[in-house]
Structures are given as C-alpha cells and as structure tokens.
Amino acid sequence: MDKKIVLIGAGSAAFGPPTLSDMYLSKILPGSTIVLVDIDEEKLNMIYEILNHENKIRGEIYNIEKTSDMQAAVKDADFVICSIEHGDRFNYRWIDHRIPHSYGTSEMMAENGGPGGFFHSARQIPECVKIAKAAFKANPQVFFINYSNPMSRICLAIKRAVPELNSLGLCHQIHLLLPDIPYIINSHLKPDKLDSLSANEKKQFRKETYLNTKITVGGLNHFAFILGLSDLRTGQDLLPKFNARCMNFYQDKWDRFKYADLTFEIYKRFGWFPYVGDNHLCEYVQIGSNHTKYEDLDDWITMMEDWKIWINKKYRRYYNKLIKGKYPRKGILMKDHSGERAIPIIEEIIEDNKTHEIAVNIPNDGIIENLPQDLVIECSGTADKDGVHGVKLGKIPKNIAALLRIEASIQDVCVEAILKESKDLAIACIAMDVNCGSFEMAENIYNEMVKIQGEYLPKFK
C-alpha cells in the first residue's frame, strides 16, 4: 500500500504511539508513509525517535517522517488525522473550569459545553479550520479525521468553512457502555454466573456479543443516546430487553465518573439511555448541577491531568532508555487495537468494506429529521470508498430531540461567533447557555477570559 497518512498533534504521547500501534496491526497499510507533525519540536523528536525505532524492530514496514511544518506535511496526503490542543491543555482547562463558575454559572466541567466550553471552542476552532483548509487545498480528495475537542463545534466549523472537505469526527465515549452491553442483554447470564467467568471467558463472551449485535446511536457528541439494539442473527429487537434489565444491572455499579445520578435521572425521565457518562452529560443540561458535584469534576480533571503527566513520563523514560541503548528488544507498542476507530475506518475506506460504525460525527444531511440540518451529529454509520455515511434515523423521539436542539442552537451561535470574530455573538452565546442565563454574568466572564487567554483567542471585535 502506498498511502500518505499525516498525524497532526503527533507529539502527544497519548495520540502518536497508540495510533501507530493500530497501524502495525493493519494488514493493508504497510508500505505507507506516516508523517508526524507537531509544533512542540522537543516532544515531536522524542516520539519520532521512539516510533522510528519501533519501525526498525518490525522490519521498517512504514516510511516514517517528521516535521513541524503543517503546510508541507499535508501536501499529497491521502488521510489527515488531527488531534491538537491550542495552548497548554490543562492550564487553560482549569481556567475554563474555574472562572465561569466563580461568576455564578452552574457549569460543572467546561470542556465541550457551557461558558467555559465556548472559550475552549474559541481556542481550538481557528487552528483546526486552518489545518482543514490547508489539507483540502493540498488535495481536495483528502479524507480528514478530527479527534480534537470540542468535537461537535470543531466539526461544525470545518463543515461551514470547508464545505467540500470529506471529513468526520471520532470520539471513544461509546466505549463506556460497550463492555456492559453483553451482560445487560444476555438475560441468562446471572450475577453468580458472571462472577465465575475467567478473564479470557469474559473477553470471548464480549467479542461474540459485539459481532452479533447491531448498536445504533444518535444525538450530539458527548450528548447522545442508544436508539437501537438488534441481534444480527435473528433480527430480534434487543432494546426492550436492554431497558428491562439496565437499571438492575447498574444498581450496585453507579460511578461518579461514568453512570450515576444524572445519567439515570435523564434515562428515567426521557426513556432513552445516554451513554456518554455524567461528567459529559452535565455540560449540556439545565439539571446538570442538581445531579453532579463540582468537586467530583475537579477530581475528574485532576485524574486526567495526572494521567497525561504519567503517560508523558513513561515515554520520556523509554526515550532515555533508547538513547542509552537499553530499549526493550520487543518494543513497547500495544499488541492489541487501541479501540480508536481512525485506522480501521481508513482501512474500510480503502477496501470499500461498508462496515457498520457505532458512533461517528458527521453532518446531519437528513439523518435525523427533527434536528437542524446545518449541524454535526453523532450517529451510527457505514464506511466505504466514498467516505462515511450516517444510518438514517428519521425523526427521533420528540423529548430527546427537544433537549438536543437547545445545545444545537448554542453550537450554531458559538461557531458563528468564532468564525466571524464577533464579540456581540460571543457574549450572546455565553449568556444563552443553559449554565449561564445572564448578560451581566456573560460579559464579566468574557472580559476576564479574554484578558487571560487573549493570545490564543480570535480577535473578537
């Protein structure tokens, strides 16, 4: 295979090595050129040296290059995978989290929604749009994959700024639910039987269930629902069984970082299971602060920051071993797939497989009829030589459609404010958010955040 795959943001130890691990498990991509791109040259060099050595261990089946010049990297690219953070990720994440809350917002986390999520969007969107434009200009047939957050808002901005670009967004949030589904829908598997299974038996059981079950989802990224479950062998609708057993399954498994008070309150009131977890769902709904604790989200962000520090130290340690000639002979890349879908989808596009993908972020385009069409939704889809296509859902239940339209309207104004660099639209977006509701509060937040983050924000006027 002679493809050019560009990884932008590859200096991240959490992004570069796992993606390369997936590539080394591919049977069709060897022979391709992999270009690692990052503006942090020290991190880029470290990851490049590690991955270049891993490539030698495996017989140099890829041509691995590195550059900090994004424009040069995307020339003649077949696929571009973007996973960037503009500015210090956690420094600004804490600011997004703290400052709006200090002015009285009910915001819990502020990564993708809420007033803090607006400023994360404002830092990220111009950079991601710039990369998307450069990739399309270099090759109009390029396929662009975005991993960066805020996913929905970035993908919507790219849709508006580069409408002819073939692109999608990918998020692994569905993986919160996937390990549990086999045990929920298989009613014969009682708790005592489940406890008696070995680790390998559980792994095989889950694998067989995934192969035989079609899962259909719909909504927005970090704000989506299970809309269908069916047995691929018999055609049986499994959703009634899921709904009948779900609450009992989770009765003793509530987790503040997964499914807890907020998830089950929404599930109980709306009748459809939101698979994204409390810590993301709370960003988008008015009742979020009634069912989550600000301190828990503090702990979540701290845990994510600690994990980033740990993973960077891990690769720094292996880099030092490489320099000293003490690198592990068998290498350190994962032996199993990372679970991320970028590389499998690239394979599906190349081979025209028409494979079912559980969750992708793509333009609505008639997939969900009772949500705005100028919107990027999270839905199930199929991948083939022409790209990724959503499974048509028609009209989804009115209650969840109404809930989603609130956030869809906020995303509409958010993206418009950032692309037009409009101060008035920015303040309006912050004020209308379900976590704010006051123009005075919005203006105070805006003024302080621009003062602190100005160098990474659009020149609002």
Structure tokens at 287: 């009742």
Residue keyed to tokens 């976590």: 435
- pLDDT for 384 equals 94
- pLDDT for 193 equals 66
Residue 231's contacts (CB-CB under 8 Å, 6 or more residues apart) are 212, 213, 214, 238
Q: Taking residues 217-238, what's their average pLDDT?
A: 96
Contact between 257 and 300 under an 8 Å Cβ cutoff? The reply is yes
Longest dimension (CA), the chain: 64
Q: Taking residues 344-364, what's their average pLDDT?
A: 96
Residue keyed to tokens 């599906």: 348
Asked whether residue 194 carries a pLDDT value surpassing 80, the answer given is no
Report pLDDT digits (tens) over 297-331: 999 999 999 999 999 999 999 999 999 999 999 99
Asked whether residue 190 carries a pLDDT value surpassing 90, the answer given is no
Q: Taking residues 169-177, what's their average pLDDT?
A: 95
Q: Taking residues 157-184, what's their average pLDDT?
A: 95
Contact between 16 and 10 under an 8 Å Cβ cutoff? The reply is yes
Among residues 141, 121, 11, 3, which one has the least CA distance to residue 66? 11
The pTM (predicted TM-score) of the whole model is: 0.96
Domain range list for the chain: 4-172+312-329
Asked whether residue 191 carries a pLDDT value surpassing 80, the answer given is no
Contact between 55 and 62 under an 8 Å Cβ cutoff? The reply is yes
Rounded to 10°, the helix 114-138/423-432 angle is: 130
Contact between 376 and 169 under an 8 Å Cβ cutoff? The reply is yes
Report pLDDT digits (tens) over 381-423: 999 999 999 999 999 999 999 999 999 999 999 999 999 999 9
Question: How many residues comprise the chain?
Answer: 461
Q: What DSSP letter does each residue of 179-247 carry, written as one string? A: TTHHHHH-TT--HHHHHHS-HHHHHHHHHHHHHHEEEEEEEETTEEEEEEEEETTT--B-HHHHHHHHH
Report pLDDT digits (tens) over 260-291: 999 999 999 999 999 999 999 999 999 999 99
Residue 451's contacts (CB-CB under 8 Å, 6 or more residues apart) are none
Asked whether residue 189 carries a pLDDT value surpassing 80, the answer given is no
* Average pLDDT along the chain: 95
The confidence band for 192, taking pLDDT boundaries of 50, 70 and 90, is low
Report pLDDT digits (tens) over 38-79: 999 999 999 999 999 999 999 999 999 999 999 999 999 999
Asked whether residue 248 carries a pLDDT value surpassing 70, the answer given is yes
Cα separation, 21 vs 206, whole angstroms: 22
CATH superfamily, domain at 4-172+312-329:
AglA-like glucosidase (3.90.1820.10)
